[in-house]
Chain A
Amino acid sequence: MNSLLIAVIIGFFFGLFLERGGLGDPRKLTGVFYLRDFTVPKVMFTAILVAATGLYLLSDLKVMDLSRVWIVPTFFWPQVLAGLIFGVGFVLSGYCPGTSVASLASGRVDALVTMIGIGAGSLLFAVLYPSIQGFYVSSAMRNATLPGVLGLNHWIVLLALYVLAGGLFYLMERHERRG
């Protein structure tokens, strides 16, 4: 099957689950930052742990070759700063790139304004690129992973994340019930 068609199908399920999970609503999207609605961390943490468990299981069973997977490269300080800027943009707009598309799809016109802003921000980066290129490629750690950096087996790291997620979910549910 054509890979672009598969891309549409994969995107379809991504968008369906995002919207049905409530991530097409800026009030729910920003809720975690105001500590009143924890939908975003619940969805994200669950998605990450399900995919991570599947990925490392398939790799251990030799069904998948992890060395062929494109691991998102680490550039430590650029990604720390990017996260800091991104967080402000997330609170201001109420969206992130994927959820702005999901929100426009359910009729939220302001999401389109944010989408235009994201394009403008990308252009701004391209314009400033020559002067920030040095920082952009600084503190490179290539395809560093938590198990690699910590020197631990991936199942130990995953186990720690399951416990962390379980604890956080419990606290979030309790906090939400109290209103």
Chain B
Amino acid sequence: MERERFWSPYVAGAGIGLTLLAALYIFNWGLGASSAFSLLAAVAVKGLSPEFAGSLKYFSRQLSAASPLKNWVLFEVGGLFLGAFTGSILSGTIGLRFERGGHLSSGTRLLTAFAGGTLIGFSSRLARGCTSGVGLSGGAQLALSGWIFLISMFVSGLIAAAFLRRLWT
């Protein structure tokens, strides 16, 4: 049974809520994810072309730190990987695979995975964070930002799914 393979969503949700509360208590700062990607992109661009990176005003704040990679969110996301890895090993759900719901060809799936990621990366910067940093952390602070982001994301996702019915079914 699919249901038995995972914990109750309410138990997992409560666990995430307590983890978020711990982050807020210890650091006065919530959970995040997308800024780690932005930081790595900035560092990668700087490695490839320091002049180009220097011309990007948005990246200058991240790159001006003495050691940009000694960053809280980057280590948190590293921990996220280890935690998910541990969880999938203990439950036996780990296994190499290439998800491509519906009847997508591998090429089409590569395209949807990359294009979807690009939209997510861009919009996360515009929102000042993603589902974790704005939706979850902002939502828990009862911040207006978190709730408007979550509502507009769900509305948009529902509409997109109606047009892309065969993508995941």
Contact = CB atoms under 8 A, between A and B. Distances in A.
Most buried by B among A38, A87, A95, A145: A87
B10 A89 contact: no
B99 A26 contact: yes
A136 to B, nearest CB: 7
Interface string A142-176: 01111101000010011000000000010000000
Given A21-B7, A26-B99, A88-B160, A72 B130 contact: no
Main secondary structure of the interface of A (DSSP, over half): helix
Contacts of B80: 11-12, 14-15, 18, 98, 101-102, 105
A61 interface: no
A55 B87 CA distance: 27
B26 to A, nearest CB: 6
Given A3-B72, A32-B157, A24 B33 contact: no
Contacts, number: 521
Contacts of B77: 11, 98, 101
A11 B75 CA distance: 8
A6 B31 CA distance: 12
Interface string A3-14: 111111111111
Interface string B94-106: 1111111100000
16 contacts: A7-B75, A8-B79, A8-B82, A11-B77, A13-B83, A14-B16, A26-B99, A42-B9, A48-B17, A75-B145, A81-B123, A84-B152, A102-B81, A105-B85, A107-B88, A110-B113
Smallest CB-CB A-B distances: 10 pairs: A117-B117, A121-B121, A11-B79, A93-B116, A21-B12, A46-B13, A87-B156, A50-B17, A83-B152, A15-B83
Given A9-B79, A52-B139, A98-B80, 17 more contacts: A11-B76, A27-B101, A50-B21, A51-B17, A54-B17, A70-B30, A84-B123, A87-B152, A90-B153, A91-B116, A93-B117, A97-B132, A102-B81, A105-B85, A113-B117, A120-B41, A120-B117
